[in-house]
Structure 1
Amino acid sequence: MIRAYRPADLDALYDICLDTGNGGQGVRHLFDDPRLLGHAHIGPYVAFEPDLAFVAEDDDGVCGYAVAASDSEAFEDRCDRDWWPDLRFRYPLTPNANRVVQQIHHPVRVDPMLVRDYPAQMHANLLSRAKGRGFGGALVRTVLERLEKGVHVHVRHHNTHAIGFWEHMGFRVIDSADELVLGLRL
C-alpha cells in the first residue's frame, strides 16, 4: 500500500535510508551515529515538504519511501537557514569527517541552469523485500502527480538498477558529471 508520510514513520525512513544508502546496499556499518544519514537525506524533506513524502507499507511495515522538494533552490535556502545550523553544531567538521558531515557543512547547490526545466528534486528508496512488487513506480507516480514543471534525481554511476528504474519511469540523463542527473519534464 502507498500512503502519505506520517511523523511516526520517521525512524523507519531513517532506517531505510541507512539500509539502501549505497546503491541499494546498506551502509549502517559506516556510521557511528545511525541517524546521521537520515538527518541529511530524509529529515529536511519530511520537515519542510511533508505533502511530498509518501511511504510504501507491506505486512511487515514501512518498506520504502519517495520524498521531494518542489523548488530545489528554495528548499536549499530553507535548509541553509533552518536545518543545517543545528546539524553543523551536532556534527562538527573535523579533518577526518565523513562525506555526510562534509555535505552538511558544505552542501552542494543545485545548478541554476538545471532548475529552469527541472526545479523539483526527488529521492526514492525501497528495501529489498519491496523490490519487484510495484511499490517503486507507485511511489514515484504518487509524487509526480503533485509536481508541476519538471523533476530531477541524482544517481551514482554504478547504481545501474536505479538508473534503469528511473529511465523506465520516463526520466532521461541530463548530466553525467560526478553523479548522473536524470530529469523528467512534466
Structure 2
Amino acid sequence: MTSQLYIRPARQSDSATLSRICLLTAEAGVSAEHLHTFGELPGVIYAEPYVHLPFAGGFVLVDRSKSSSASLHDDDNNEEEGGEVVGYALSAFDTPRFEQELEKRWFPKYRIKYPLSLPDFPVPVSTSSPLVVAAAAPKEADIRYINNIHNPPHASPGALVFSLAHMHIDILPEYQKLGYGRKLIDTLVRWLKKEKGLERLWLGMDKRNVGARRFYEKLGFRDLEGAPEGVVGIEFEDWKG
C-alpha cells in the first residue's frame, strides 16, 4: 500500500475531505462521529480554514489507489496525481494574522449557521433528500465547538514567543504507523524553513492521546515554558525527520 501513497500541497478543493478526516480522528486520534450531530464542526475550526485563508497552508497524504469525488472534479488534478486524501499536516505560519482572518472572514458565516441562542438546528433527514429537514439538538461536543466559534481561543503568549507558526496533523487510522506522519511533518518543516524563513514550530495536542505525545517526543518536540499543558514545540535544528 505504501507505494501508492504520496504527499502534495493541500488545496481548497480538499476542504470537505480534510473536514471528514478531522472528524474521524477528533476523539484523541479516533472517530468522534458518535459525539456529534453536526460532524463538520471539528473541521470548521481545525482543518478547513487552513486551505481557505491567508497566512496558512500545508500538505496532504494521498492514496493513489483510491479515487474521490474531489479528485474527479478538481481541474488541478491530473491522472498521475489522482487519488483520495487520507491525511494532512496544516500550518498557520503567522498565527496572530491567521486568527485575525478567522475572525474577519471565516467565523461570521458559521456564527449565523450555528447561533448560540437556538437549541435545535435544521439538518437533512436523508442524504437522498437534502431539502427535507428536521430539528436536531446539538450534542455536548457540538456545543463546545459552537462556543469556540463564537468565542474562539487564541494562541498563548508563551507559544507565540517560541514561534509564530503552529500546526495540526491528522491521518486516518488505517494509514497510521507507516511512517507518513513523520514524512508529512518533515515536508511541512522544510516548507516553513525554506519558504517562510522560520526556525521553530509548535502544536497543541490532546492530553489524553499518550501515543501522540510519544510520537512527538521521538521527533524532538518538547514542552514549552509559559505555554499551556499539551503545547509542544520544536527547533528546526533539532528536527529528527
TM-score normalised to structure 1 length: 0.91
Q: How far 1:99 moved relative to its partner? A: 0.8
**Identity of aligned pairs, percent?**
32
CA contact (8 A) 2:166 2:203 kept: yes
2:94 is equivalent to residue 71 of structure 1: yes
2:231 is equivalent to residue 181 of structure 1: yes
4+ aligned runs moved over 3 Å, structure 1: 94-97, 175-179
Report the counterpart of residue 106 of structure 1 in structure 2: 151
Q: Which amino acid aligns with 1:82?
A: R
CA contact (8 A) 2:156 2:228 kept: no
**In structure 2, which of residues 109, 116, 137 is the aligned counterpart of residue 86 of structure 1?**
109
Q: CA RMSD in A?
A: 2.0
2:107 is equivalent to residue 62 of structure 1: no
Tell which structure's C-alpha radius of gyration is larger: 2
TM-score normalised to structure 2 length: 0.71
What SS class does the counterpart of residue 48 from structure 1 fall into? Answer: coil
Query: How many correspondences in the alignment?
Result: 186
Q: Which amino acid aligns with 1:145?
A: R
Instruction: Name the CA distance, whole Å, in 1 between partners of 2:55 and 2:10.
Output: 7
Greater alpha carbon shift after TM alignment, 167-176 vs 34-43: 167-176
What SS class does the counterpart of residue 98 from structure 1 fall into? Answer: helix
Q: How far 1:49 moved relative to its partner? A: 4.7
Unaligned runs of 5+ in 2: 1-5, 67-83, 120-139, 193-197, 237-241
Q: Which amino acid aligns with 1:55?
A: V
Greater alpha carbon shift after TM alignment, 106-115 vs 64-73: 106-115
Report the counterpart of residue 46 of structure 1 in structure 2: 51
What SS class does the counterpart of residue 52 from structure 2 fall into? Answer: helix
2:221 is equivalent to residue 171 of structure 1: yes
Q: Which amino acid aligns with 2:219?
A: M
Report Cα offsets for 1:148-177 as digits up to 9, x if no partner.
Answer: 132111112110111111112211011597
Cα separation, partners in 2 of 1:44 and 1:155, compared to 1, 3 Å: same
Greater alpha carbon shift after TM alignment, 57-66 vs 93-102: 93-102
Instruction: Name the CA distance, whole Å, in 1 between partners of 2:48 and 2:62.
Output: 19
Greater alpha carbon shift after TM alignment, 168-177 vs 139-148: 168-177
Report the counterpart of residue 152 of structure 1 in structure 2: 202
Q: How far 1:53 moved relative to its partner? A: 1.7
Greater alpha carbon shift after TM alignment, 66-75 vs 45-54: 45-54
Q: How far 1:122 moved relative to its partner? A: 0.1
Report the counterpart of residue 115 of structure 1 in structure 2: 160
Q: How far 1:123 moved relative to its partner? A: 0.1
Report the counterpart of residue 142 of structure 1 in structure 2: 187
CA contact (8 A) 1:68 1:123 kept: yes
Unaligned runs of 5+ in 1: none
What SS class does the counterpart of residue 224 from structure 2 fall into? Answer: strand
Q: Which amino acid aligns with 1:155?
A: M
